[in-house]
Chains A and B, each alone.
Chain A
Amino acid sequence: MNIDLTHEEVAFRDEVRQFLDTEYPEDIRRKRDESVPLTRDDMIRWQKALNSRGWFAVNWPVEYGGTGWTPVQKYLFANELANANAPHVVPFGVKMVAPIIYTFGNEAQKKRFLPDILSSDVWWCQGYSEPGSGSDLASLSTRAIRDGSHYVVNGTKTWTTLGQHADWIFCLVRTSSDVARKQEGISFILIDMKTPGVSVKPIITIEGDHEVNEIHFENVRVPVENLVGEEGKGWTYGKVLLQHERTNIAGVANSQYRLNKLRDRAGQSLHGGEPLVNDTNFVRKIAMLDIELKALEFTELRTLASVAVGNAPGPESSFLKIRGTEVQQALDALLVEAAGYYALPYVPQQYVLEYPAADRIGEGSETSTSLHYFNNRKASIYGGSNEIQKNIIAKHVLGL
Chain B
Amino acid sequence: MDFSFSEEQTMLADSVARFIDTDYDFESRQKTAASESGYSEKMWRTFAELGWTAVPFAEEDGGLGGGTIEQMLVMEQIGRGLVVEPYLATVIMAGGILRRLASNEQKLKWLAPIIGGELIATLAFAEPQSRFNVANIATTAKRDGQGFVLNGQKTIVLNGNSADLIVVPARTSGNQSDRSGITLFAVPGDVSGLNRRGYATVDGLRAADIHLDNVRLDAADVLGEEHNGFMALDRVIGEATLAISAEAMGIMQKMHDKTVEYSKSRVQFGVPIGSFQALQHRMVDSLMSCEQSRSLLYWCVMLNAKGHADAIKAISALKYQVGTAGVRVAQEAVQIHGGMGVTWELDIAHYFKRITAIDLMFGNADHHLDRFISFSQ
Interface residues, chain A, CB within 8 Å of chain B?
A: 1-6, 9, 72, 277, 283-284, 287-288, 290-292, 294-299, 301-302, 305, 309, 319, 322-323, 387, 390-391, 393-394, 397-400
Contacts and interface: CB of A to CB of B under 8 A. Distances in A.
Interface residues of B, number: 43
Contacts of A322: 288
22 contacts: A1-B9, A1-B302, A3-B299, A3-B305, A3-B306, A5-B1, A6-B1, A9-B1, A284-B373, A287-B372, A291-B317, A291-B372, A294-B295, A294-B296, A295-B296, A301-B1, A319-B287, A322-B288, A390-B285, A393-B287, A397-B284, A398-B280
Given A3-B299, A400-B283, A296 B292 contact: yes
Contact of A72 (B1, B4, B301): B1
A387 B285 CA distance: 11
Interface string B346-377: 00000000000000000000000110110011
A277 B374 CA distance: 12
A305 B9 CA distance: 18
Contact of A296 (B260, B274, B295): B295
Interface string B219-263: 000000000000000000000000000000000000000001001
A398 B296 contact: no
A195 B302 CA distance: 56
Top 6 A-B residue pairs of the complex, sorted by shortest distance between their CB atoms: A298-B295, A3-B302, A394-B280, A295-B292, A299-B295, A400-B274
Nearest to A290: B376
B153 interface: no
Contact of A391 (B2, B277, B295): B277
Contacts of A72: 1
Interface string B121-150: 000000000000000000000000000000
A4 B308 CA distance: 10
A13 to B, nearest CB: 11
Interface string B301-327: 111011010000000010011000000
A269 B101 CA distance: 48
Contacts of A309: 4
A307 to B, nearest CB: 12
A298 B1 contact: no
B275 interface: yes
A392 to B, nearest CB: 9
Given A1-B69, A2-B1, A394 B295 contact: no
Contacts of B283: 394, 398, 400
A298 B5 contact: no
Given A1-B5, A284-B369, A290-B376, A398 B298 contact: no
B281 interface: yes
A322 B291 CA distance: 13
B321 A295 contact: yes
A3 B275 CA distance: 41
Given A302-B298, A400-B263, A283 B373 contact: yes
Given A283-B373, A399-B264, A400-B260, 17 more contacts: A1-B5, A1-B9, A1-B301, A2-B2, A2-B306, A3-B1, A294-B295, A295-B321, A296-B292, A301-B1, A301-B295, A319-B291, A322-B288, A393-B287, A394-B277, A394-B280, A400-B264
Nearest to B273: A400
Nearest to A392: B284
Contacts, number: 115
A301 B288 contact: no
A387 to B, nearest CB: 7
Contacts of A398: 260, 274, 280, 283-284, 287
**Most chain B Cβ neighbours within 10 Å, of A291, A387, A393:** A291
B308 to A, nearest CB: 7
A288 B370 CA distance: 10
B247 to A, nearest CB: 18
B3 A302 contact: yes
B77 interface: no
A302 B301 CA distance: 14
B293 interface: yes
Contacts of A295: 292-293, 295-296, 299, 321
Contacts of A319: 287-288, 291
Contacts of A291: 296, 317, 320-321, 372
**Most chain B Cβ neighbours within 10 Å, of A6, A292, A295, A322:** A295
A296 B295 CA distance: 7
Contacts of B274: 398, 400
**Most chain A Cβ neighbours within 10 Å, of B277, B295, B303:** B295
Nearest to B314: A294
A227 B214 CA distance: 90
A393 B302 contact: no
Contact of A1 (B2, B277, B287, B321): B2
A4 B2 CA distance: 8
B284 A299 contact: no
B291 to A, nearest CB: 6
A399 B275 CA distance: 10
B3 A1 contact: yes
Nearest to B286: A398
